[in-house]
Amino acid sequence: MKNKRLIIIVIITAILLIIPLIAMQFTDEVNWTLLDFVVAGVLLIGTGLMCGFVMRKTNKIGYRVAVCAAILVVLLLIWAELAVGIFGTPFSGQ
């Protein structure tokens, strides 16, 4: 079961990373480097693995939803910071 979840997480990550790769072929507004793809892949796989861990270790549905939602919010905040710099850290994408 663990391997099946890992394979699903990796496939979903690959599908999500194909979207900007295809967009780069049609427009100049999407300009990702190899580092961008690596960072996005690490973020997406890490988020998937953390949510999978929560799903395995927690029995109550309410806790599962709350913790996975919190993990997703953190992912979106990190992604937004890296993309446009909403917090003004040195890691901002501006």
- Please report the pLDDT score of residue 25 as a whole number: 95
- Please report the pLDDT score of residue 52 as a whole number: 93
Taking only the tens place, the pLDDT of each residue in 43-85 is: 999 999 999 999 999 999 999 999 999 999 999 999 998 888 8
Q: Once rounded to an integer, what is the mean pLDDT over residues 4-26?
A: 95
pLDDT above 80 for 94: no
- Please report the pLDDT score of residue 84 as a whole number: 84
Total number of residues shown for the chain = 94
Sign of the CA dihedral 72, 74, 77, 79? negative
pLDDT above 90 for 92: no
pTM for this entry: 0.88
Instruction: List the domain boundaries for the chain.
Output: 2-84
- Please report the pLDDT score of residue 76 as a whole number: 95
Phi, psi of 72 (to 5 degrees): -65, -40
